Structure formats: C-alpha cells, structure tokens
Amino acid sequence: MIKSIFKDMTQSNFESGVSESKEGLPAHIAIIMDGNGRWAESKSLKRIQGHQAGVESIREVVTASCDLGIQYLTLYAFSTENWQRPKLEIDVLMHLLSDYLDKELKTLTKNNVRFQVIGRIHTLPKEIQKKIAFNVKETENNTGLTLTLALSYSSRCEIVDAMKDLALKVKDGILSPEDINEEVIQQHLYTKDMPDPDFLIRTSGEMRVSNFLLWQLSYTEIFVTDVFWPDFRKQNFLNAIQSFQKRERRFGRTNFSN
C-alpha cells in the first residue's frame, strides 16, 4: 500500500530520494506554520491574505501526510501569545478556522483522518468550540492520520496545567510524589496519547520554537526552511521528509545501533 503510493508520487512530482519504506518515515511530524504575514508583505498584500493562502498549504500537507501514511501531524495554528495581535487579525484567523472546520470535515472523513486539538480550547469563541467538538466526535473512530491542531496553545501553559493536575492528585492522596517520573508527567500533558514528534518543520526561517511542545521536542529532529508557509506545498514537504531520512538520530548515544 505504502509502496504503491510512493510509486505514484515518483511518477508525478515526487523527485525520488525518499526511501520506499515506512520505517524511514517520521511517525509524528509537527509544524510551526510561520510566515503568512511576510508572504503577504512580499506581494504587497494584506496579512489577512497571507493567512488565507496558508490554509491551502495546510490542505496540501494534510493530504500528502495521508498519502504517505504518516501517523501523526501536529500543526501550530494559534499560540496563546497570538491573542496579543490586533483584534482584526484575530477575528480573521478565527473566521478562517471556523471555515476550515466546516469545509474540511468531508475531506478528513474521506481520508480516514482523526481530528483533534490541543491547547486552552475553552478560551476560543464558543461557536468554534462547538465545531471543534463536532469534528472531533465525527472523526474519533477514524484509523488513519491523527491531525492535531494546536490552538490557543502554549507549551508553558500545558506544563502548568499538567503540574496543577499532579499537585491535586498528590493533595488528594491519589499519587505519591515518589511516583512522579517522566512517564507520569507525559501522561498529564495535552499530548498524552501521542508519541513525541520525530520531526519539527518551521517555515520562514526563524530559529526558535516559540513556546511549542517544549517537553515533547527533546529529541526531535528540526528542519527550518526560509520558505514562507503559504508557499510551503507538497513538494517542499516531501523534500523536508527526505532531509529527515538522511539524519542520524543518536538520542545521546555514540551511535544509535550501539
């Protein structure tokens, strides 16, 4: 199945080099989708138009992930800090999100995608919360790609929320402090049901993680491209994965096979 998909891609615009084995693929890809504003600026357009164009990149990357058989794709769509942007820009982003949730469900279902979100979802507009809940429910039994949108997300907030949960459990005598270890902490993060990302892509050149998955990125391979998010399409995504496949992940050892 995977093999034949790769064959199709080789015939179309997939310029080979990516190994035809599922083992070489990252199970979990996380993306900081950055540069919508600069993309618009470079074309003398409004920032809003950059965000609109960015939605198409999301569609391409989600579809390509499904075709490749990627298991988890986590997209940083709106950070806690992004609430400090001008109201008009926030309104547009919320409108685009609402539209995406309405329009995309059909395609997600067709592609067997399980849709979920991480972040302080209760801080989003009520109407969006309802649409999210609907899409999550509708796709919960799908077995293909798990697509996670990070919305009103901040990794430090996530860690604070986890620490509060743990503190309450200790207070209530459900958990003893000696039993707190990395696994217990991981189980209290928003991402508790996901493996850590193998691969982080950041578009538009910034060399920072901007409060994204700080715990989970401990041993993630990082790929930064100067390409602005609205220009980051299927071929850019495939090229990035190709670069991942050339990495040697050592996890602190001298050589992973040792």
Contact residues for Mg ion, defined by CB under 5 A: 34
Q: Which residue has the tokens 């992973």?
A: 256
CA angle (25, 51, 129) in 5-degree steps: 80
What's the burial of 156, exposed, middle or buried (CB within 10 Å: 0-12/13-18/19+)? exposed
Residue 32 interacts with ligand IPE (CB under 6 A): yes or no: yes
Catalytic member of 67, 82, 112, 142: 82
Size of the site for ligand IPE (CB under 6 A): 18
Q: Return d(Cα 109, Cα 51) in angstroms, integer.
A: 24
DSSP lists the bridge partners of residue 116 as 148
Q: Work out how close the CB of 33 gets to Mg ion at its nearest, in angstroms, rounded to a whole number.
A: 9
Which of these segments, 3-11, 32-40, 96-104, 188-196, binds ligand IPE (CB under 6 A)? 32-40
Q: Work out how close the CB of 160 gets to ligand IPE at its nearest, in angstroms, rounded to a whole number.
A: 18
Q: Work out how close the CB of 54 gets to Mg ion at its nearest, in angstroms, rounded to a whole number.
A: 11
Where in 76-105 is the site for ligand IPE (CB under 6 A)? 76-79, 82, 93
Q: Work out how close the CB of 237 gets to ligand IPE at its nearest, in angstroms, rounded to a whole number.
A: 16
8 given a catalytic annotation = no
**Is residue 210 left, alpha or beta, with left meaning phi > 0 and alpha meaning psi from -120 to 50?**
left
Q: Quote the crossing angle between the two packed helices 47-68 and 234-245, to the nearest 10°.
A: 50
Q: Give alpha helix (H) positions in 111-233.
A: 126-139, 155-171, 182-186
String of contacts with ligand IPE for each residue 192-221, x by CB under 6 A:
------------x-x-x-x-----------
One residue of 38, 59, 95, 233 binding ligand IPE per CB under 6 A: 38
Pair 31, 45: CB distance under 8 Å: no
In the sheet where 114-118 sits, what is the strand order? 114-118, 146-153, 72-79, 28-32, 199-202, 221-224
One residue of 18, 25, 26, 36 binding ligand IPE per CB under 6 A: 36
67 binds, options ligand IPE, Mg ion, none, Cβ within 5 to 8 A by partner type: none
135 given a catalytic annotation = no
Catalytic member of 34, 36, 67, 135: 34
Q: What is the DSSP letter of 114?
A: E
Which of these segments, 35-43, 100-108, 111-119, 137-145, binds ligand IPE (CB under 6 A)? 35-43
Q: Which residues bind ligand IPE (CB under 6 A)?
A: 32-38, 76-79, 82, 93, 204, 206, 208, 210, 229
Residues marked as catalytic: 34, 82
